[in-house]
């Protein structure tokens, strides 16, 4: 008789560090016109990220009375659109985490140059339903940080935290005791970009 484990593994590559012009380089944007998606994070006129990240839009002029429509997908791959109010000679940051960005369009006529990128805040989903966290194998990066495992959503209760170390050659193999930690509404993670290289998470 063959026996099979009910433990599943999920592999994640970390999101990037903050990149203020990674989506769109500084440039003038016309009235109701789209930004050129051609920054370092872009390929083929769109951006696909390893994890969900907040979009930042830097306005060189006063765009507080205008907005920018961001179109992409969320951490589950579902379509996501957000209307982000511009800032006055400052940076506006999206409320939602985007895992991909297909377009950013000005609503109105920006007062000066506009730049688009991502913040260092990252979020992702490990599993969308009831599950028990069994452990993780983490490959560190040159920057230390903390991975927070949240119940039910990216703003849910933090049930577990794993720390990484500032060494690109260091790994952490973490096993949870007994039956693991129960997440009743799904396992979600939040962390700062580039504070680990990759992570394999085990759940049942």
Say what percent of the chain tops pLDDT 70: 98
pLDDT in tens, 43-86: 999 999 999 999 999 999 999 999 999 999 999 999 999 999 99
At residue 137, the pLDDT reads 98
DSSP letter assigned to residue 34: B
Residue count of the chain: 204
At residue 26, the pLDDT reads 98
Number of H helices, E strands in the chain: 0, 15
Q: 202: part of which helix (H) or strand (E)?
A: strand 198-203
In CATH terms, is domain 8-14+125-203 a member of 2.60.40?
no
Beta pairing, strands 145-151 & 187-192: antiparallel
75 Rama sector, left if φ>0, alpha if ψ -120 to 50, beta otherwise: alpha
At residue 46, the pLDDT reads 98
pLDDT in tens, 149-160: 999 999 999 999
- pLDDT above 60 for 1: no
Say what percent of the chain tops pLDDT 90: 97
Contact 201, 183 (CB under 8 A): no
Give strand pairing partners of 156. none
pLDDT in tens, 159-200: 999 999 999 989 999 999 999 999 999 999 999 999 999 999
Cβ neighbours around 56 below 10 Å, total: 23
- pLDDT above 60 for 2: no
pLDDT, mean of residues 88-116:
98
Cβ neighbours around 144 below 10 Å, total: 15
Contact 172, 140 (CB under 8 A): yes
- Per the prediction, the chain carries an average pLDDT of 97
At residue 169, the pLDDT reads 87
Reference 54, options 196, 190, 199; nearest CA is: 190
């Amino acid at each position: 008789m063959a026996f099979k484990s009910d433990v599943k593994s999920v592999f994640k590559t970390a999101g990037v560090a903050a990149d203020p012009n990674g989506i769109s380089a500084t440039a003038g944007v016309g009235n109701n016109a789209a930004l050129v998606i051609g920054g370092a994070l872009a390929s083929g006129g769109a951006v696909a990220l390893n994890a969900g990240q907040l979009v930042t839009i830097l306005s060189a002029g006063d765009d507080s009375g205008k907005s920018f429509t961001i179109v992409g997908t969320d951490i589950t791959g579902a379509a996501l659109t957000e209307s982000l109010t511009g800032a006055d000679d400052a940076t506006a940051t999206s409320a939602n985490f985007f895992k991909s960005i297909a377009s950013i369009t000005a609503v109105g006529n920006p007062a000066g140059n506009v730049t688009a990128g991502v913040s260092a805040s990252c979020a992702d989903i490990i599993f969308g339903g009831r599950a028990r966290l069994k452990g993780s194998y983490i490959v560190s990066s040159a920057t230390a940080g903390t991975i927070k495992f949240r119940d039910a959503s990216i703003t849910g209760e933090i049930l577990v935290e794993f720390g990484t170390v500032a060494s690109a050659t260091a790994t952490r193999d973490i096993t949870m005791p007994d039956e693991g930690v129960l997440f009743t509404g799904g396992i979600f993670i939040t962390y700062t970009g580039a504070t680990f290289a990759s992570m394999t998470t085990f759940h049942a």
